[in-house]
Amino acid sequence: MKKHLTLSLSIVLILFYSKVSAQMDSLFLKNQDVIVGTVKSMDRGVVTIETDYSKDDFRVNYGGIVRIKTATEFLITLSDGTRLTGNLETTGAGLIKIQSAEGLLKEVPIDEIVYLESIAKLFKDRLNANVDFGFGLTKAQNLRQISLRSNAKYMAETWSTSIFYNSIYSNQDEVEQIRNTEGGVTFNYLLPKDWYIPVSLTFLRNTQQKIDLRTLGKVGVGNYIIRTNHSYWGVAGGVTYNAEKYTEAEDRRTWEGYAGTELNLYDIGDLNLLSRLVVYPSISKGGRLRSEFNFDVKYDLPLDFYIKLGLTATYDNRPVPGATETDYMLQTGFGWKW
């Protein structure tokens, strides 16, 4: 009787363990470690996986994975912009099978997968954000400078939205106070083959260029020319409506075109490099040309902390009287992402 009971319990435990294991995702790494849990997402070369044995999610470099097997169903984006739905299983050296409940969909090289998103993702899992602060103080002329850079992004199946707010405040004896504040919201609707439609509304205040408030509405079309697990490069263009209020000049309201490009390198150790250039040729005020350039360097630290250096430069070949054609803002900060 005792033997039969022990055997029965063993069989039940084996079946239970097999069922649980079958419902879990497994990542096999180059260093021969195996992580078992629930893969939540993969973006910009980083896989996020939740496990029962850690209160924090693991983040694994996708390039360090040699085999993968998932029970979780994903929205999958390939490097050519193709989007599929299914789960994953390595079938051979460097190959992954994507399949749904209906059967095999496609077999692709492992490097062709550039984005994964769990269909069962909760709201909090689709949201990521970061914020960093900077502070400077010098005895000479009692210089005090405070800066803030922040953004949050939400990803859905066919669209994404993000908000940002950046500011710098500088105060110095016998010198006019400097304020540079920018914020806005962007909405991207995703199309096949890595095309997308960007719509945005941004606000800017810049004391150096005598801008009390610039409100800029943009709509256009963009495409990711390169999108891999190591980097992406995209271009976009369209039209904008620019409404400007100045502190010491007549207000301006103009239509502009815009053309921009963005390059992000994120598989270079703990470094992340992002550069962006946008040019605005005026349509309704001939001869005016504006441009914006951003360059950010971020170095990741343990526990999701990071240090960051950011440069923002603006140019206007027809500024209002008393304002400069160019302005730049250099910010350093210590921050945290989630």
Same domain, yes or no, for 277 and 153?
yes
Residue whose entry in the numeric block shows the structure tokens 């095999």: 104
Same domain, yes or no, for 69 and 142?
no
Same domain, yes or no, for 202 and 65?
no
Q: Tell me the C-alpha distance between 138 and 136, whole Å.
A: 7
Same domain, yes or no, for 280 and 160?
yes
Burial of 287 (0-12, 13-18, 19+ CB in 10 A): exposed
Which residues constitute the domain of residue 6? Answer: 2-121
Shortest CA distance to 158 belongs to which of 77, 223, 216? Answer: 77
SS3 228: coil
Alpha-carbon distances, residue 160 vs 43, 85, 181, 201, 262 (angstroms): 13, 18, 24, 15, 17
List the pLDDT tens digit at each of the 338 positions of the chain.
445 444 444 444 444 344 444 458 999 999 989 999 999 889 888 898 988 887 778 889 898 999 999 988 898 999 988 888 899 999 887 899 998 766 778 899 999 999 998 886 677 778 889 899 887 665 555 667 788 889 999 988 789 999 999 998 887 766 677 788 999 999 999 998 899 999 999 999 988 788 999 999 999 999 999 999 889 999 999 999 999 999 888 999 999 999 999 999 987 878 999 999 999 999 998 889 999 999 999 998 988 899 998 888 999 999 988 888 998 888 888 898 87
Q: Tell me the C-alpha distance between 84 and 161, whole Å.
A: 21
Domains held by the chain: number: 2
Q: Tell me the C-alpha distance between 289 and 276, whole Å.
A: 17
Ranges of H-type helices in 70-135: 123-126
Same domain, yes or no, for 260 and 298?
yes
Shortest CA distance to 198 belongs to which of 181, 214, 219? Answer: 219
Same domain, yes or no, for 117 and 131?
no
DSSP structural state of residue 283:
S
DSSP structural state of residue 85:
E
Residue whose entry in the numeric block shows the structure tokens 């509304």: 201
State which of 73, 98, 121 marks the end of a domain.
Answer: 121
Same domain, yes or no, for 39 and 137?
no
